[in-house]
Structure 1
Amino acid sequence: MKKTGFSLLLAIGIVLNSFGWGQNGHRVVGQIASWHLNKKAAKAIKRILGSESLAMSANWMDEIKSDPEYRYLNPWHYLTIKTGEGYDPDIQEEGGDAFSKTNMIIAALRNGNLDAETKAIYLKMLVHLVGDLHQPLHVGTGEDRGGNDVKVFYFNQSTNLHAVWDTQIIEGKNLSYTELAEHLNRRADKSLIRKYQREPLEKWLQEAVGLRPIIYNLPENNRLSYEYGYQTFPIIEERLLAGGIRLAGILNEIFG
């Protein structure tokens, strides 16, 4: 019985560590996007989500993993790009990947031929997947499960590289998602918004691959603390801001 319980906890831990950004990271992306919606898109999204905000709907795709009926969504959170290569559909999981499914959802929402429930689910998925595509370790090498297999110590706590990037660096700032979103949104001038929103999804993947040398620049003992966080938090900030602004651009194009 104890062994079964331990196995269950281990399995849960593996699933949790595969999430893209922690809850606050995803909420930041949704919150920033909400500040950059045009009026028409904002009204359309309110009709779809009701009283639920983009920020609070951003984690639905992680939370629904607890329902066995939605386990097929697991590979949608990430994709694989080999170093020096581009997106290759032949090396992705059979059930789909973050890049192809984001494109599929955008096309379906743009088409508009969806019932109300499906439209709401697709919108929540889109908020989440745009966030995932801006977490660089969700564009993985295919060799270490997006950093999940890279065991590190973060402030003497045993963890893995993926969890450090998803959650621990962000939570170490001790900010609410609204505080972090507001802090980042102050950088969103018109030129930056235009730059982010005109870049296609393929560019997002190139950005993630380009960040790998920094992410994997670890000390020999794999013990991380202030220095690693200091070096990488500006990248995390930029990724969250880019994700929020780009999400708003997509939503304005679909619903505005």
Structure 2
Amino acid sequence: MKKLLSTSVFVFLLVSQSFAWGQLGHYLIGYMADKQLKKSVRKKVEKVLYPMSIARSGTWMDDIKSDHAYDYAYTWHYMTSRNGEYDESIQEKGGNIFAEINRIKNELKAGNLEPQKEAEMLKMLIHLVEDIHQPLHVGTGEDKGGNDVKVQYFGKSTNLHAVWDSGMLDGKSMSYTEIGDELSRRIDKKTISKYRSGTMQDWLAEAVAARPAIYTLPENNKLSYAYGYENSQLLEERLIAASVRLAQILEDIYG
């Protein structure tokens, strides 16, 4: 029984560390994107996703990781880019986040999908657009997107990827609506124009540009207030960018 319990705990930790943004981050991005949508687009998107909200839909693709029927999508959450390029030859054979965003977006735009299929594909697209803006989901190919970088965060053993997924955000002890309302105050016309004008290739370049700050760690790899403070602006900028681009994509499909 003890061995079984230990195995279950290990599997839980392994799966939980591969999540992106954590539930708070996904809710937050979806909530901010929802606030930016045109009414007509929001109505169409909500009809497809019902009874889920746009904010809630962002966590669905992590929820289904426990369902083996969706094992085919395991590698879709991330990709490898050494210098900001998209190189198909170094990606996972099962698919990757860059290719799947493009494919799903095009299939949704083409239409003629069964309602359940459309809903699932839309929830996947929302999640993946959010994921790709967590910089460590565009990995170097050397440390599993920071999962192999073991750190202590406020005295608790974890890894660098988990700190960016949820550690810094959860540490704010605020709801997704509280954080979302605050960050949304910064989304003006200039900000929207800046992020909407970027291509997906630019998204990869942004992730690579964030690496020096993300990987600047103390020698003992013990992180606390200083690391969160130094990376707070980068974290918030990534969340804002994800929300603007998610709203743009939803309007492109359902506008």
Same fold flag (TM > 0.5): yes
Residue of structure 1 in register with 2:101 after alignment: 102
Distance 1:181 1:124 in 2: 20
Tell me if 1:56 matches 2:56: yes
Answer with 60-69 or 8-17: which moved more.
8-17
Distance 2:235 2:84 in 1: 24
Provide the aligned length of Structure 1 versus Structure 2: 255
Deviations 1:87-128 (A, max 9, x none): 111111111001100111100111012110111011111111
Distance 2:46 2:226 in 1: 42
Distance 1:94 1:4 in 2: 32
Distance 2:18 2:142 in 1: 14
Distance 2:3 2:103 in 1: 41
Distance 1:152 1:44 in 2: 43
Tell me if 1:88 matches 2:73: no
Residue 7 of structure 1: how far off its partner (Å): 2.2
Tell me if 1:189 matches 2:218: no
Distance 2:16 2:72 in 1: 16
Contact 2:46 2:54 in 1 (8 A): no
Tell me if 1:125 matches 2:124: yes
RMSD: 1.0
Q: Note the residue ranges of structure 1 that are not aligned, 5 or more in a row.
A: none
Residue of structure 2 in register with 1:43 after alignment: 43
Runs of 4+ in 1 over 3 A off after TM superposition: none
SS of equivalent residue, structure 1 residue 87: coil
Structure 1 length as normaliser, TM-score? 0.97
Residue of structure 2 in register with 1:28 after alignment: 28
Residue 5 of structure 1: how far off its partner (Å): 2.9
Structure 2 length as normaliser, TM-score? 0.97
Answer with 10-19 or 59-68: which moved more.
10-19
Q: Note the residue ranges of structure 2 that are not aligned, 5 or more in a row.
A: none
Residue 85 of structure 1: how far off its partner (Å): 5.2
Map of 1:139-154 to 2, 5 A cutoff? 139-154=138-153
CA distance 1:230–1:38, shift in 2 (3 Å): same
What amino acid maps onto 1:16 in structure 2? Answer: S
Deviations 1:230-250 (A, max 9, x none): 011111111011101110011
Residue 73 of structure 1: how far off its partner (Å): 1.1
Deviations 1:188-208 (A, max 9, x none): 001111111121111111100
